[in-house]
Structure 1
């Protein structure tokens, strides 16, 4: 079994799909591992460390992917890479399939079996493979660090001979993995933290971290969670009531972090321009959903916008990638945990069980077609 680890073609993607730790594990499975030269450079992993772990370094995509049974990436392969990959090879990456039907079709036509790590089911055996959680955890931490960096004042309350400095007020909108980590990090830095979410189960989680929960807790709120643990889209009436509550709360905040995403749909708008206009000069908004359209009106992907009233709206892209070394390490472990289930330990070869629940949930393309029911071309 030959495993290829390709460099990322997007200059804004510093993460890498394998680290020396996982290379050693692949070698222990009996795999030959080939890493494209410089693949780990932006994540702080030089080629020499891959070689020391037992990998071979290849210069080009073609040389790296030649005869590879398994191709590992962070992001979906680009069109220019597809021709270098062997027909029948398995490709595992964050595929970002929503709204990219043409790209999926191209991968299918290249004869590849593509697996989307972000579609991993939320079941017990797949927890160690959950890239969304591992990367969102880092995004929540980094959001607070970025917010503190942009905020021109101290986060904790400080009592000094020159006077008392009040603690910063941090409001987290959306209490998934990123939101919970943001709450915990802001609390560790000494901020007064509040949080909101439409899912009732999050109230206890927020309060367990020492933060205050803010939400309109009516009957709709009590049923606002899918079986998979995701937030449901709320009615216009509920959004209006929640918006009014948030509007009065947000005007008092120093740092607001938004994390709300709905799988396969644009990010919901949580903070309007009118709300931003009520915030104090020097306040900061960190929009972690900016790549999906953003939760904050006025957020711009890849930019820090300063409004007329002196509020900063931060729209950093690929926030986990801002911690490239740690993000790569966690992502590589997620990948290995999944790939290990695809390997026959006796023959030391790829032996995908197509009826396995993990495979069925993540497999996008196979045998020249798009096979995942959520992404098949419409007739």
Structure 2
């Protein structure tokens, strides 16, 4: 039996399961007990839960279940209501909540922290932090739009013209990208910055301008996380933020590092902003990126800048956030219940399950062992062991020199490759010019069109934005359809060479058409909602 208690944290509107996820949990073999009124704040009625197959119970019965899942960590009184050897699935903040871990261990509860999911690819479907960040980033734009005294999109009317709002987003993670997408869709002029240079492509794919600042770019460590900023990099980033803040109507800050906020907007930067500007500090839960942020409140600076430091942005959209949170729980239960028999089987050899298990019966298992995953490129197979042994014995200066030598060797290799390509193209051009000099005018005209089509096609396709790849696929399907029709018309030719080429052309064009439609349908299915 999985218990879904009502959240007791003041102002919390979320619930750990929705009628839809109740149905999914029951499909895994579980029975579900929902506390009366648990989903009311998220617009889910008790009747909707009972129609989905859940039992409507009181608080004591919900906490008495073999498995209990909540949005927020339970109080000591709620832990005392749990069964010995029960399982708790919740956000537990284990890195700062030692007293709760002690209470859970004393009670014999096996606790899985949804906010301690290892950051690896196969764990993304149960990553509650990403879910909450996504909603918070979107909601930050909604809050900014309500507070801002103008429209996001530019308008051209008979009464005159208005300029679009200028939005600056700090951070290109989940929350930052969600904020960028929402602001762009509302018509704002969006600029964004992230200390990780590889985030630029994702930012630009959403229609925003990636602000470049080489002196402020961070390097990534072998674990995949950004390295700490040096003093010079920190000064460069603060100068960049102040410059962008002076130009922006709205700033959305999302810089959190393992739950702690990084200072990005100083009070001097706020003083340089225009009156009526808005700052939404999504990182207020970690103390705030803005120096003037008051977590949980909205304040106005001396020069008229509104600073929003709400810590419940995700809870302000309770219906969809609860659905997403509940889906994270369902995905976890699928991992714990491979047999779909309603019996969780915790596998501590699995790095995902081990990483989020903070207590197991009477043992405290936090912190977990490091996940053996590296974001650094794998070393070459030949001599990799020797190279690894050598690397560990080098000093930082020697490692830097080694990296510079490798970069110089790669640059030399690329230069030699470019030279070879240039020579080959020149020779091919001479041979082609000589050959065309002895051909008739009709073939020359046809061949010229063919060559021009190659160049045009190359430059068109290579410059298409990632967001347009699906419609481009449909366009190439149409072109392949024309080729297919032309091939069918030539199959009846008396010339065997023409017939052979026509058959091959028809076959290849058919593969393009059907393969293109198959890929397009698969891409579109990713954005379809379940019926």
Q: If the length of structure 2 is used for normalisation, what is the TM-score?
A: 0.67
3-state SS of the aligned residue for 1:251? Answer: helix
3-state SS of the aligned residue for 1:270? Answer: coil
Unaligned runs of 5+ in 1: none
Instruction: Give the equivalent residue in structure 2 for 1:105.
Output: 102
Instruction: Give the equivalent residue in structure 1 for 2:13.
Output: 14
Instruction: Give the equivalent residue in structure 1 for 2:258.
Output: 263
Q: Does the alignment pair 1:369 with 2:363? A: yes
1:190-244 residue CA offsets vs partner (Å, 9 max, x unmatched): 11110111111111111122211224214x7251x34554433311211101111
Please tell me whether the aligned partners of residues 171 and 257 of structure 1 are also in contact (alpha carbons under 8 angstroms): yes
Q: What is the correspondence of 1:271-350 to structure 2 with a 5 Å cutoff?
A: 271-343=265-337, 345=339, 347-350=341-344
Instruction: Give the equivalent residue in structure 2 for 1:35.
Output: 34
Q: Does the alignment pair 1:245 with 2:250? A: no
What is the CA–CA distance in structure 2 between the aligned matches of 1:217 and 1:344, rounded to whole Å? 48
What is the CA–CA distance in structure 2 between the aligned matches of 1:346 and 1:294, rounded to whole Å? 43
Instruction: Give the equivalent residue in structure 1 for 2:75.
Output: 78
What is the CA–CA distance in structure 2 between the aligned matches of 1:280 and 1:221, rounded to whole Å? 27
1:142-170 residue CA offsets vs partner (Å, 9 max, x unmatched): 11111011000111111112211011100
Please tell me whether the aligned partners of residues 258 and 289 of structure 1 are also in contact (alpha carbons under 8 angstroms): yes
| Number of residue pairs the alignment of both structures matches | 369
What is the CA–CA distance in structure 1 between the aligned matches of 2:21 and 2:117, rounded to whole Å? 19
What is the CA–CA distance in structure 2 between the aligned matches of 1:325 and 1:354, rounded to whole Å? 33
1:270-322 residue CA offsets vs partner (Å, 9 max, x unmatched): 00000000000000000001111100011112211011100000011221111
Per the TM alignment, residue 65 of structure 1 is displaced from its structure 2 partner at its CA by 2.4
Instruction: Identify which of 55, 62, 78 aligns with 1:64.
Output: 62
Instruction: Give the equivalent residue in structure 1 for 2:162.
Output: 165
Unaligned runs of 5+ in 2: 370-531
Root-mean-square deviation (CA), in Å?
A: 1.6
Instruction: Give the equivalent residue in structure 2 for 1:119.
Output: 116
1:69-111 residue CA offsets vs partner (Å, 9 max, x unmatched): 2111011111110111111111111112222112222122221
Larger mean CA deviation between 340-349 and 74-83 belongs to 340-349
What is the CA–CA distance in structure 2 between the aligned matches of 1:59 and 1:256, rounded to whole Å? 44
Greater fraction strand? 1
Q: If the length of structure 1 is used for normalisation, what is the TM-score?
A: 0.93
What is the CA–CA distance in structure 2 between the aligned matches of 1:299 and 1:194, rounded to whole Å? 22
Please tell me whether the aligned partners of residues 143 and 182 of structure 1 are also in contact (alpha carbons under 8 angstroms): yes
Please tell me whether the aligned partners of residues 122 and 228 of structure 1 are also in contact (alpha carbons under 8 angstroms): no
Instruction: Give the equivalent residue in structure 2 for 1:148.
Output: 145
Q: Does the alignment pair 1:221 with 2:220? A: no
What is the CA–CA distance in structure 1 between the aligned matches of 2:131 and 2:6, rounded to whole Å? 21
1:28-67 residue CA offsets vs partner (Å, 9 max, x unmatched): 222121111111111111111111111111112x22222x
Task: Mark the structure with the bigger radius of gyration.
Answer: 2
Instruction: Give the equivalent residue in structure 1 for 2:54.
Output: 55
Larger mean CA deviation between 225-234 and 149-158 belongs to 225-234
Per the TM alignment, residue 344 of structure 1 is displaced from its structure 2 partner at its CA by 5.1
Larger mean CA deviation between 225-234 and 279-288 belongs to 225-234
Please tell me whether the aligned partners of residues 69 and 350 of structure 1 are also in contact (alpha carbons under 8 angstroms): no
